Structure 1
Amino acid sequence: MRTGTVERLWRYPVKSMLGEELNAAGVSERGLDGDRALALLDAESGRLVSAKNPRLWAGMLGFTAALAEGGVAISGPDGRAVEEGELSEQLGRKVRLITERPSGATLERAVPEEVLARGIDAEVAVTVNEIGRAAPDGTFFDFAPLHLLTTSTLARTGAEAERYRPNLVIRTEDTGYVENAWVGRELCIGPDVRLRIVIPTPRCAVPTLRHGPLPRSTAALRVLAEENRLVPLEGMPALPCAGVYAQVLASGRVAVGDVVSLS
C-alpha cells in the first residue's frame, strides 16, 4: 500500500552534531552510509557526548559534520574548519573522537519536562542510558539505525524537521501522527530497501535547542508532550514521541522521490 514519498534525507557523521542533507544514499543494516560513524567521548565521565544533556552539550548543535575523503570534516559555528584537537577547547570539556562504540557505552539524558520548565542551563535530573539496544554492534545510534519522520507529524508540531534529526522525512497526505500506526509493520522504500518499524521515537530536550541558525523552540517538544505521549517499550513510561525507529531488513539505495509503501 503506497504511503508516501521520500522528501528529505540526512546523515549525521558525528553523533549530536549537525549533519548533511543528501539527495541519495546507500542503506545497509548499519543505517545510511556514514551515519553516526563517530562520536565524542567525555574524558571526565567516560560517557558519550550527547546534546540530550543540554546543560553540558547544547553547543554540539553548533558544529556540522560531513563525510570527507579520508574521514570526516567538522566546521564550527562560524563555518570555519575545526580540527579534533580544537574541540575540547571550544566545548569547554576534554573530549576525543572515537570510531567504535565501547561495550556498555552510556550517555546522559536530561528529563525533558524539567528542561521545558526550568531551561537548558538549569541543574535538572538526568538519567544514564545505555545506547544501541537495537543497533548493530559498534555503531552510535541511540536505539536503531534509521529514524523516520512524516510531514504529517511536522505539520502537527509546526516545527522544522531539522529539530528532530531524522534520516528520512516522508511526505504523506494523511493528518496527525500517522507513523504511530506503522510500528510492528514493514516498510518498502524504492525498489530494494525494506525496513521493520520497531518503536515510536521518544523525544528528549534536543528539539527545543538551537540548531545552527534555528533558535530555541520549546513548542517543538511541548506540542508532543500535550498530544502524542506513547509507551515506546514495555516498562517505560508514556513519553512525548515523534517519528519511528526502524531496522533494515533489505539493503539498497534510497533517494529523494522514492515511493514509500507499507507491505
Structure 2
Amino acid sequence: MLIGSVERLRRYPVKSLLGEELSAAEVDRRGLAGDRERALLDLATGRVASAKHPRLWAGLLRYSAAATADGGVAITGPDGRGADETELSEAFGRKLALITERQPGATVERAVPEEVLARGIEAEVSFTVNELGRAAPEGGFFDFAPLHLITSSTLAAVDAEAERYRPNLVIRTEGEGFVENAWVGQELMIGPTLRLRVVVPTPRCAVPTLRHGPLPRRTGALRIPAERNRLVPLEGMPELPCAGVYAQVLVPGRIETGDAVRVTDADVRVN
C-alpha cells in the first residue's frame, strides 16, 4: 500500500552537529552511508558529547559537519571557518576527541525534557544516562536504531522544521497528526529495493527546542508532542512525548528523493 514519498534525505556525519541535505544515498544494515559515523568524546567523563544535555552541549548545534570525498569529515564553525578538535575543546572548555568507533556500552547524558521546558537550558536539571545504539549494528553513534523517519504530517502538527528532529528521511504523507505511529511493527519498502522495519516511536528530548544554526529556540517543538502524542516507546518505559519513528534495515538499497514509500506484508527478516 502506497503511504507517501521521500521528500528529504539528511545525513549527520558527526553526532549532535548540524547535518547536510542529500538527493540520494546508499543504505545498508548500519543505516544511511556516512551518517553518525563520528562523535565527540568528552575525555573527562568518557561519555559522548550530545546536545541532549543542553546546559553542556547545546552549542554543538552551532557547528555543522559534512562528509568529504575521501571518507573524512569537514566541520564548520558558526563563523563559517573550519573547526577541529582543538577549537571545539577551547569553545566548550572541555577536552574533546573526535572518534570513529563506538565502544561497547558507550553512553550519553539526557536531560529530563520536561525540566528543561520548565526551567530553561541553562538550569541544573535531572538527567539520565542512556546507552547508544541498542537496536543498531556495531559502529555508528545512533541513539537507538540506524534510521530515523518523520512525516510531513507530524511536522505540520508540531509546526516545526524537520531540522529540529534530526531525521534521516522526511516522508511526505497525507492525513493529519502523527501518522507514522501506525507504522510501528510494520515493514516499509522505499524505492525499488530498500526494505525497513519500523521498530519504535521516537521519544523526544530537549534538542528540538534548541537553537539550530540560524533557527531560533522553539519550545513548542517539544511542548506540542508532550501535549498531543505521549506514547510508551518500549515495554517498561513511561509515556513520553514522541515524534517520528526509528527503523532497522532489512534489505539494503539506494534511496532518492521522490521515491515511493509503501507498507508491505512480505515476511522479510534481518540476517
Which range, TM-score by smaller chain? over 0.9
1:87 alignment partner, SS class: helix
Aligned to 1:160: 161
Matches within 5 A, 1:203-214: 203-214=204-215
Q: Deviations over 1:26-52 (max 9, x none)?
A: 000010000000001001111000000
Q: Which residue of 2 aligns with 1:91?
A: 92
Distance 1:99 1:91 in 2: 20
Partner of 2:237: 236
Deviates more, 1:75-84 or 1:234-243: 75-84
> C-alpha separation between the residues in 2 aligned to 1:178 and 1:196?
16
- 1:179 and 1:173 mapped to 2: Cα distance? 11
Please state whether the residue corresponding to 2:224 is helix, strand or coil: helix
Q: Distance in 2 between matches of 1:195 and 1:66?
A: 25
Alignment TM-score, normalising by the size of structure 1: 0.99
Partner of 2:43: 43
User: Which structure 2 segments of 5+ residues have no match?
Assistant: 265-271
Correspondence 1:67 to 2:67: yes
Alignment of 1:128-139 (within 5 A): 128-139=129-140
Other-structure match for 2:23? 23
Q: Quote how far apart the aligned CAs of 1:84 are.
A: 2.5
Residue 224 of structure 1 aligns to a residue whose secondary structure is: helix
Structure 1 residues not aligned, in runs of 5+: none
The answer for the alignment partner of 2:269 in structure 1 is: none
In structure 2, how many angstroms separate the alpha carbons of the residues matched to 1:37 and 1:127? Answer: 23
Give a deviation string over 1:208-232, Cα, whole Å, max 9, x none.
0000000000000000000000000
Q: How far apart are the structure 2 equivalents of 1:62 and 1:133?
A: 28
Provide the rounded CA distance (Å) in 2 between the counterparts of 1:78 and 1:8. Answer: 26
Q: Which consecutive segments of 4 or more residues in structure 1 shift more than 3 A?
A: none
SS, match of residue 57 in structure 1:
helix
Q: Deviations over 1:35-83 (max 9, x none)?
A: 0000010011110000000000000000000001331000001111112
Matched with 2:54 is 54
User: In the alignment, what sits opposite 1:123?
Assistant: 124
| Aligned residue runs from structure 1 range 148-227, under 5 A | 148-227=149-228
Q: Cα deviations across residues 168-208 of structure 1 (Å, max 9, x unaligned)?
A: 00000111110000000000100010000000000000000
Residue in structure 2 matched with residue 79 of structure 1 by the alignment: 80
Amino acid paired to 1:251 = P
- The percent identity for this pair of structures is 72
Question: What residue is the counterpart of 2:267 in the other structure?
Answer: none
RMSD across aligned C-alpha pairs, in angstroms?
0.6
Normalized against structure 2, the TM-score is what? 0.96
